[in-house]
């Protein structure tokens, strides 16, 4: 029993950099946490990457130490270095998971057709935030600029600034006295993402 507990503790210690990376990723992005087994698999992958980067760093520092005395590479140094690498890896992954820079290049190279966003719903708002019109249950419509939006279409709220109700004659009734307004996502039946002025100006006129 004691040996089993020791083995589990050793395994958890080895996976700790991976769990630290995953903690940063899921703390800074809107991705839903996967089941426990998948999280352990991710921790294994992240730990493997961290250990690979740690080995490269160790080799680099030891090589540089032949010329300049930098210190002693021991267990404490390895612990601090792995922690810093795990945090840095989490920040880098979070950046690429929140932006389309990496996947844009991958799509141009025909390596994938996917985007980094957790859903098409989230990607529609994250790629280019713009004014929108929410079609609500009962036929009501409201326009505004989304300061915050739900990550899923079935839960959460839209927070709109510069909001205005739209009547049956497509006339806007501004909510001048409100800084912002919350609209429950479950009340929304359809979302219109409006073009900005630059996109409207670039639309060719019909012959």
What is the pLDDT, as a whole number, of residue 124?
Answer: 78
* Residue after which a domain boundary falls, among 107, 142, 165: 107
CA separation for the pair 128, 112 (Å, rounded): 21
| Whether residue 69 has pLDDT greater than 50 | yes
What is the pLDDT, as a whole number, of residue 159?
Answer: 92
Q: Same domain, yes or no, for 71 and 135? A: no
CA separation for the pair 157, 145 (Å, rounded): 13
* Residue 158 domain-assigned (yes or no): yes
Angle between helix 75-98 and helix 36-64 axes, rounded to 10 deg:
120
CA separation for the pair 173, 165 (Å, rounded): 5
CA separation for the pair 122, 180 (Å, rounded): 21
**In a 10 Å sphere around its CB, with 0-12 CB exposed, 13-18 middle and 19+ buried, how is residue 162 labelled?**
middle
Note down the domain range covering 179.
Answer: 120-194
Q: How many CA atoms lie within 13 A of 128 on its CB side?
A: 7
CB atoms within 10 A of CB 90: 24
Q: Same domain, yes or no, for 10 and 94? A: yes
* Residue 202 domain-assigned (yes or no): no
% of residues, the chain, pLDDT over 90: 23
* Residue after which a domain boundary falls, among 49, 76, 107: 107
| Whether residue 200 has pLDDT greater than 50 | no
Element (H, E) at 157: strand 157-166
Q: Do 17 and 81 contact (CB within 8 A), yes or no? A: no
What is the pLDDT, as a whole number, of residue 166?
Answer: 92
* Average pLDDT score over residue span 108-133: 79
* Residue 205 domain-assigned (yes or no): no
CA separation for the pair 144, 192 (Å, rounded): 11
Of 4-8, 115-119, 132-136, 199-203, the least confident: 199-203
Give the residue, 49 or 98, on which the prediction is more confident. 49
CB atoms within 10 A of CB 102: 14
* Residue 114 domain-assigned (yes or no): no
Q: Same domain, yes or no, for 96 and 152? A: no
Q: Do 116 and 136 contact (CB within 8 A), yes or no? A: no
| pTM (2 d.p.) | 0.66
CA separation for the pair 153, 127 (Å, rounded): 17
Q: Same domain, yes or no, for 9 and 97? A: yes
* Average pLDDT score over residue span 150-175: 87
Most confident range (mean pLDDT) of 2-11, 97-106, 113-122, 187-196 is 187-196
* Chain segment 3-62, per-residue pLDDT in tens: 556 666 676 777 888 989 999 988 888 777 778 888 888 888 999 999 999 999 989 888
Number of structural domains in the chain:
2
What is the pLDDT, as a whole number, of residue 73?
Answer: 81
* Average pLDDT score over residue span 168-180: 87
CA separation for the pair 160, 31 (Å, rounded): 23
What is the pLDDT, as a whole number, of residue 206?
Answer: 42
What is the pLDDT, as a whole number, of residue 85?
Answer: 94
Q: What sign for the dihedral angle of Cα 159, 161, 167, 170?
A: negative
């Amino acid at each position: 029993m004691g040996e089993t507990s020791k083995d589990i503790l050793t395994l958890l210690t080895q996976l700790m950099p991976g769990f630290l990376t995953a903690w940063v990723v899921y703390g800074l992005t809107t991705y839903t946490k996967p089941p426990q087994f998948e999280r352990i698999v991710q921790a294994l992958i992240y730990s493997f990457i961290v250990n690979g980067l740690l080995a490269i760093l160790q080799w680099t520092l030891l090589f540089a130490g032949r010329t300049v005395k930098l210190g002693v590479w021991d267990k404490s140094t390895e612990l601090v270095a792995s922690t810093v690498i795990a945090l840095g890896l989490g920040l880098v992954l979070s950046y690429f998971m929140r932006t389309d820079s990496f996947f844009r290049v991958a799509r141009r190279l025909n390596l994938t057709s996917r985007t980094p966003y957790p859903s098409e719903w989230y990607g529609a708002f994250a790629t280019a935030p713009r004014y929108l019109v929410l079609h609500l249950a009962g036929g009501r419509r409201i326009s505004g600029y989304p300061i915050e939006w739900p990550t899923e279409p079935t839960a959460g709220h839209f927070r709109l600034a510069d909001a205005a109700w739209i009547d049956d004659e497509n006339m806007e009734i501004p909510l001048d006295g409100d800084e912002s307004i919350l609209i429950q996502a479950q009340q929304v039946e359809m979302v219109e993402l409006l073009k900005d002025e630059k996109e409207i100006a670039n639309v060719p006129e019909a012959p």
